[in-house]
Amino acid sequence: MGFFSDLKEDLNQAVTELVPEEGEAVSEEETKEKEKEEIDLDALLDNIEEDTDKNESESSFASEKKSSPKTTDETAVITAGMDITGDINSTGSMELLGSVKGNITINGKLNILGSIEGDSKASEIYAENAKIMGEVNSQGSVKIGQSSVIIGNIFATSAVIAGAVKGDIDVKGPVVLDTSAIVMGNIKSKSVQINNGAVIEGVCSQCYAEVSPTSFFDEFKKSKK
């Protein structure tokens, strides 16, 4: 606020220069009037500083709020007879029954009953009788129904798979492969539950587990020496 301090000093100096030199007669009313002007001037500058600080604070808050959009309660529906070519972005949720050729990025939940040729990203993703060619990225859980086919990698915090997946599965939490699951790709997770009948062609690694087998056996070797 150096600008307002300099302005106040300049105005105070100007008022001082208006004060008569020693020897000149000054009435009591003129003295009171000049003192009142100085007080009003200080109050005016203080109010300007307060308003400026408030506006800067509100502007900063508005900018921060704008940079981090929140998820809305709205749900967009793409009907079975609708074909869309192009990317889709939304702050709400979406139910896809038609087909999309493009990337889908939404803040809410994505319910896929149609087809996607492109990457999809949402807070949660559920696919039933879906055909997806592209990456599936969820900030939460992913559920792939029995009749769904995905050609692409899957990223999530948890996953339940009953359909077919050709691609790597990278999940920070648990992965459950149901009896009808077909997976052609590597699985990285915290834990894996493979139900009887599931088919896997790839490597399963519980790299996110709290216990590291490599560290365990390294410590075991050291203790034997």
| pLDDT value of position 13 | 63
The pLDDT of residue 184 is above 90: yes
CA 207 vs. chain centroid, Å, equals 26
Q: Is the pTM of this model over 0.85?
A: no
Average pLDDT value for the chain: 82
Confidence of residue 218 (pLDDT cuts 50, 70, 90): confident
Burial (Cβ within 10 Å: 0-12, 13-18, ≥19) of residue 207: middle
Confidence of residue 70 (pLDDT cuts 50, 70, 90): confident
| Tokens standing for residue 97 | 């029954």
Lowest-confidence region among 3-12, 70-79, 113-122, 188-197: 3-12
- Summarize the confidence of residues 114-134 as an average pLDDT: 97
The pLDDT of residue 1 is above 60: no
Domain ranges of the chain: 2-67, 75-205
Report the residue count for the chain: 225
The pLDDT of residue 209 is above 70: yes
The pLDDT of residue 87 is above 80: yes
The pLDDT of residue 139 is above 70: yes
- Summarize the confidence of residues 193-199 as an average pLDDT: 96
Percentage with pLDDT > 90 across the chain: 60
3 state DSSP class of 130? coil
Assess contact for 182 and 165: CB atoms under 8 A. yes
Per-residue pLDDT reduced to its tens digit, 158-173: 999 999 999 999 999 9
The pLDDT of residue 45 is above 60: no
Percentage with pLDDT > 70 across the chain: 68
Nearest alpha carbon to residue 110 among 71, 84, 147: 71
